[in-house]
Amino acid sequence: MWDDAFPSFLIGLREGLEAGLIVSVLVATLVRADAKSRLPQVWTGVLAAIALSMSFGAVLTFTAASLSTAVQEAFGGALSIVAVAFVTAMVFWMRRSARSLAGEIKEKVTEALTMGAGVLVLTSFLAVGREGLETALFLWTTARAADESVGPLAGAGTGLVLAAVLCWGLYRRVLSINLTRFFTATGAVLIVIASGVLGYGLRDLQEGGVLPGGAAYAVDLSGSVDAGSWSSTLLQGVLNLTPTMTWLQVVGYVGYLGVVMTLFVRGVRGVPGVRGGVPAPSATPALPVQGTPPLPTPAPTRPRPAWLIPVAVVAVPAVLAGLVVVLAHPEPAGGETVAVSAKDCGQGFTAPEPGRQTFQMRNTGDQTSEVYLIDPATNAVYGEIEGLAPGTTRDLVATVAGGTYAWRCVPSDGTAVTSKAVRVGGAAGAGAVVPVSEQDLAGPLRAYKAYVNRGLATLVTETRKLGDDIRAGHLGAARADWLTAHRTYASLGAAYGTFEDFDQKINGRPDGLPGGVHDKDFTGFQRIEYGLWHGQPAGELEGLVRQLTNDTTGLRKAFPRQDFDASDLPLRAHEILENTLQFELTGDTDQGSGTGLATADANLSGTRELLTVLRPLLTTRAPRLLPTVDADIARLQALLDAEHRDGRWTPVDRLGRTAKARIDGAAGQLLEDLSPVPDLLEIRKSA
């Protein structure tokens, strides 16, 4: 998470320190001028600035969430560029103004006190509000680039807390910091970070259709760079450097970095207190010293409740932000509720406006139902709700573009019903999923069952050979033949759920058994592995290998009659790798052979075979998915092959830290990219 947190930490520290210094000077000026009664006015302005900044962040977050995908990309890209402009201006201003900050603020405070309480509130509000708005904007853009908010929020919070501690220390004269050098060093780092934000923003504008060149890649290292490694994650999180970058991204990144950094470095040479400039002994802004003459006392005013202004300055921006968010989240057209039942399917549905819409789906029938928003011409699904109980209402959120839409209601015990279609004008959109039927999966299922049958025939032969080795006392050969047979079984991963009780007998783990590895019910490959690699004599293993041979033979005979649900195929495409990450790549299943990576390699082969039979269905539904998955598989395969030397596999517990992280990262990335497969190939009822 640190890679996502660091940019926000740095901006929180800089902006927090800048705002905190201003507040420190304000407070010190009032305290030493014997005007403590005016401090609530300063804190009221600070509170108003914080409320405005948080409200601004909420507006950005919720407004963007209500937009269509393409508009979200354009909106985010535009704000990223605005954030870069603000950060650039802030870096240059702070480098120039750090040394004279205290004097300028003191002068403003003196002027404000002569003009009344409202001006002092406004002075502190404007002084802190600018930094707060810049922080909110930059934090929103970095969170969006990271595709998560925990890291950026944690980083910004840590930076702000540290800035508050530093400002308190400066106020108390405990710390001595050369602020000119501090803002110069952090400014240079922020320029590098901002160049990455600019590149990310340009990419968003390309994906949103605002700028051209979205497919013109200057750099494409996706096939050779491990995107899940710590180094890649760090570069993407901190610098927004990704394995694939368009020409526009590269030109924007390099151009901004070259021009802005050059101007910044040239300006630094003439800044006092920085190497290359005139030496300056001052380490901190000169806070007002003792002896400051008393500041003018304003004319007495009519007293008002102490809580009134603080509550108002928080409530006003919060209410305004709430209004903006409400206006940005339109209700379904006409505020309608759409009926779901065999009799009333789609009643209340009228043509919605293009964009992201929330439909209130109410089951008016007496059966639990599924409901789909579809294109009636192609049966493509734009959104769905499963298990909608009678008398209940749930929201269905979908993005609507130009096209034809209808509702399909599927009662749990009845025939699917399709509502009257409506037409929405405008450009056609993307994101619909063309459903599959059991017939669509029948061909892939037959092909995969044939693959499993061939694998089981091979498995029976290999387990018999393993038994011959053990009976002859050739335990060295038995270890090699054990691994061959076990890899064959592991490559049949998509059929695990179909093998019924045979899977526990053939490849069960000792987890939960009263006797552990010595329990009588612990049998199969892993029990024999334990014996072969823990010095058990051949005589003690003969009964176990005889049972394994009988079980694999029984499975081969039973498999053609076992129920293999076609819907299991898409699920297994994801689950095989889940098991690999959970068991093989943690060493949890290792009983002494140290061949967890060999089993992972076999699981990868099984995943590849499964995707081969599903490829025709996936190609038409998600043409960009398979090239990405193929690249992920090639990356993971190369990493596994690198740990297979001279016929030996590196045990998982002996992997170097970097190698382990790369393998885990590649497997995790493949698992993530496979996650849409079950939804893409889910069997849905049609009319």
Structure-block tokens of residue 64: 């963007």
Gap between the Cα atoms of 123 and 403, Å rounded: 54
80, pLDDT greater than 80: no
- For 365-390, what is each residue's pLDDT tens digit? 888 899 999 888 888 888 888 888 88
For residues 85 and 143, is the Cβ–Cβ distance under 8 A? no
What integer is the mean pLDDT of 567-575? 84
- For 543-561, what is each residue's pLDDT tens digit? 999 999 999 999 999 999 8
Q: What is the average pLDDT score of the chain?
A: 78
- For 485-536, what is each residue's pLDDT tens digit? 999 999 998 666 788 789 889 998 898 888 889 999 999 999 999 999 999 9
Structure-block tokens of residue 219: 């750099």
E-only strand ranges, 184-292: 217-220, 244-246
Q: Residue 195's pLDDT is what?
A: 83
What integer is the mean pLDDT of 256-279? 68
For residues 117 and 41, is the Cβ–Cβ distance under 8 A? yes
Range in 251-255, 321-325, 411-415, 649-653 the model is least confident about: 321-325
Residue 56 C-alpha from the chain's centroid:
23
Q: Please tell me which residue, 533 or 81, carries the higher pLDDT value.
A: 533
Gap between the Cα atoms of 22 and 163, Å rounded: 12
Gap between the Cα atoms of 377 and 356, Å rounded: 22
What integer is the mean pLDDT of 410-416? 85
pLDDT category of residue 292 using cuts at 50, 70 and 90: very low
The pTM for the full model equals 0.51
- For 314-370, what is each residue's pLDDT tens digit? 566 566 656 655 555 444 444 578 999 988 999 989 888 888 788 989 999 888 899
3-state secondary structure of 360: strand
State the residue for tokens 């195929």: 569
pLDDT category of residue 238 using cuts at 50, 70 and 90: low
Q: What is the DSSP letter of 243?
A: S
> How many residues are given for the chain?
687
Torsion sign across C-alpha atoms 312, 315, 318, 320: negative
Q: How far is CA 171 from CA 81, 94, 164, 366, in A?
A: 35, 19, 10, 70
Q: Which residues pair with 339 in a beta bridge?
A: 362
What integer is the mean pLDDT of 300-316? 56
* Dmax (CA) of the chain: 108
Structure-block tokens of residue 20: 């905190």
E-only strand ranges, 516-640: none
E-only strand ranges, 364-437: 369-375, 380-388, 393-400, 403-411, 417-418, 422-424
For residues 380 and 374, is the Cβ–Cβ distance under 8 A? yes
Q: Residue 108's pLDDT is what?
A: 57
Q: Please tell me which residue, 653 or 76, carries the higher pLDDT value.
A: 653
- For 110-145, what is each residue's pLDDT tens digit? 555 554 555 566 666 766 666 676 677 767 666 666
- For 416-440, what is each residue's pLDDT tens digit? 899 999 998 877 665 677 778 888 8
Phi, psi of 381 (to 5 degrees): -105, 125
Neighbouring residues of 398: CB distance < 8 A, sequence distance ≥ 6? 356, 357, 359, 373, 382, 383
152, pLDDT greater than 80: no
Q: Residue 418's pLDDT is what?
A: 92
Q: What is the DSSP letter of 417?
A: E
Q: Residue 118's pLDDT is what?
A: 59
Q: How far is CA 130 from CA 52, 90, 105, 156, 335, in A?
A: 10, 10, 15, 16, 39
Pairing of the two strands 337-340 and 355-363 = parallel
Q: Which residues pair with 407 in a beta bridge?
A: 373
672, pLDDT greater than 50: yes
pLDDT category of residue 305 using cuts at 50, 70 and 90: low
CA angle 538, 541, 544 (to 5 degrees): 155
For residues 137 and 60, is the Cβ–Cβ distance under 8 A? yes
Q: Please tell me which residue, 665 or 323, carries the higher pLDDT value.
A: 665
Gap between the Cα atoms of 650 and 648, Å rounded: 7
Pairing of the two strands 355-363 and 393-400 = antiparallel
Q: Residue 338's pLDDT is what?
A: 93
Sequence letter at residue 172:
R
Gap between the Cα atoms of 386 and 396, Å rounded: 10
Gap between the Cα atoms of 109 and 121, Å rounded: 10
Phi, psi of 686 (to 5 degrees): -125, 170
pLDDT category of residue 456 using cuts at 50, 70 and 90: very high
What integer is the mean pLDDT of 652-657? 91
Residue 531 C-alpha from the chain's centroid:
44
Query: What percent of the chain has a predicted confidence (pLDDT) above 90?
Result: 26
Q: Please tell me which residue, 590 or 130, carries the higher pLDDT value.
A: 590
Range in 24-33, 78-87, 148-157, 387-396 the model is least confident about: 24-33
Structure-block tokens of residue 592: 């002494």
What integer is the mean pLDDT of 98-105? 57
CA angle 30, 36, 38 (to 5 degrees): 80
What integer is the mean pLDDT of 148-166? 77
Number of alpha carbons in the 13 Å side-chain half-sphere of residue 224: 3
CA angle 129, 145, 186 (to 5 degrees): 55
Q: Over the range 102-133, which residues count as b (16 or more CB within 10 Å of their CB) and which as e? A: beebbebbbebbeeebebbbbbbbebbbbbbb
Q: Residue 334's pLDDT is what?
A: 40
Query: What percent of the chain has a predicted confidence (pLDDT) above 70?
Result: 67
What integer is the mean pLDDT of 602-623? 90
Q: Residue 556's pLDDT is what?
A: 94
Gap between the Cα atoms of 238 and 295, Å rounded: 47
Gap between the Cα atoms of 108 and 115, Å rounded: 11
What integer is the mean pLDDT of 463-490? 95
For residues 8 and 159, is the Cβ–Cβ distance under 8 A? yes
Residue 517 C-alpha from the chain's centroid:
40
Gap between the Cα atoms of 57 and 153, Å rounded: 12
Q: Residue 398's pLDDT is what?
A: 85
Gap between the Cα atoms of 372 and 338, Å rounded: 12
